[in-house]
Structure 1
Amino acid sequence: MSKNISNERIGENVLVFNPSGEFYFTKGLVAFERNDLAKAKKYLTRAHHIEPNEPIIACQLAIILAELGDYETSNKILYKVISEIDPNMYECHYFLANNYAYMGKNAEAKEHVKLYLKYVPNGEYTNDAQDLLEIISLEAQDIKSTCLFHDQIDYEDELIEKQERSRRLLENGELEEATPLLEQMIVEYPSFWPAFNNLALAYFYQGKYSKAFDILNQVLAENPGNLHALCNLAVLHSHLGKDVEPFLDLLKKVYPISVDHRYKLGVTLLILEQFELGYKWLKKLIHDSIQVESTFYYWFSLAAYKVGKRNVAEKAWKRLLKEHPEKEGHEPWNMEEAKPIFTK
């Protein structure tokens, strides 16, 4: 990058200030560090316009665009860097992998994270890249084990129907009705982990903590890294007043790809009173225009309120009231009401 900020004298007393790309780049970084993404984008876009062939500026702009959820434009810039500007800017592969992961394109994410690890086995992002690769692989296995009954197509509709029915029973607090259905499901579908996780929660809400622990430990033994089981164990430990730090250490390192996992992680962190992190993950679902269930707005309103964003909390609560007008007067800032059943 150019190190000079040019000054040009016109006439005798007029001094024109012509800021360089580095000037805007620095201002963009300051805005980024303050989490003012709109200003950061403005300054980095200007810097990139002045110095379009500066790879560092281009990459930083791509990072900010990704933070704003504009993954497509971010990817275009990153591809241009490695194809036209600097093929040795291998960090672009790591950034592309992250973008594709958030877009739910696991195959592309895996391709680029492997390229980064191939070219930079001991780089700045190597540990993060290895974690991302592991998460992508775990989520692929989780999706496969949850949804794959390709050799049992006759059971698919029945499984979905039972899953939805058991979930509704749980969320309505009908635990005694949900429990035998879930117990039947884990026998019929021994690798359908959502049924195991919901059964553990049914036991938990009925005070059968030992049974809940047994189920969750079984899930993690047979499906290591299952995010729902980890979250449920953390909440159970918190409820019983046990140490949750080991779980928090793990959960803070997780970068979930699927909508379901982001929602689960966000709610779990809220319950564990990690309000900023919980708000971050729930906000991503809103920011990415993901279609969500009405219960989501309870949690998002609570999260926004806890981090001091009262206006955002009120807007989210109004959205909840459209489908649940009976919640009028039960806002998180007015009373400590019982939280919704924590499913899956």
Structure 2
Amino acid sequence: MSKDSKARQPKGKLLTFNPTGEYYFAKGLKAYHKRDLYKAKKYIQRAMQLEPGEPMIVCQLAIICSELGDYQEANTFLHTILEELDADMVECHYFLANNYAHLGFFKDAYHHANLYLELDEDGEFVDHTMDLLELLTMEAEEMDEELYDQDDLITKQEHARELLESGHFPKAVELLNSVIDEYPEYWSAYNNLALAYFYLGDNQKAADILEKVFQENPGNLHALCNKLVFAFYQHDLPEVKALKDMLKKIKPISIEHQFKLGATFALTGEYDEAFSLLQPSEKGF
């Protein structure tokens, strides 16, 4: 072998650097302590992608989201920890209490604050929780119970929607049934419950729930749209045609109904109808 060939041989072993979730978590914490919250969120999100089942990473991401003002996103992460990853991370209840307070959902804030004190009497955040409860009590004196009930209903409905979107259908069914028990004329919960059962493959149960809505709240647009979607996926062509013909005659006024009807038409292949309904939302509705 010539001297030139020896000179061209590598001097050492080439090492491949494969960052781990722990590596990105450490970088995220460093950025967080420097108050560079956007960079911290980016690193912690990467850490969560690499180690999705690690509750400490998810909790830190929730804390960063809260400090950025993204309270709903933070609460989604916190509920995921308590419901799927580690129910013993009771400090999540303290963080939830703060977030719900910031969102104006005082009844939910009160619930999670008391739950934290019950589960961790000597916890790190006990003093802060007591201060929060004092503030919530002052708010309660100025607000009636009806408004608290409305906050609670909105929160549960939002959480149920998140469960549906993330594919946690059995949990959505459980939550929506509890909403219906408490608010038996809240038709939005029935419609979402029908969707949850349909996604679970229980088509008959889904149809029965929609029929109940039609009987007690005739003409409910969301129920009609859901019925069309069910018929479309079950390839019931006569029913699809009949429902499309009926829905095309409806000219919804509210933005919510425009979006629901437009999204339903888009899903079932009626793109011109969908465009005519969804286009106004792009102009500032």
TM-score, normalization by structure 1: 0.38
Q: Max radius of gyration: which structure?
A: 2
Higher RCO (Cα < 8 Å, 6 or more apart): 1
TM-score, normalization by structure 2: 0.45
Give 1 or 2: higher helix fraction: 2
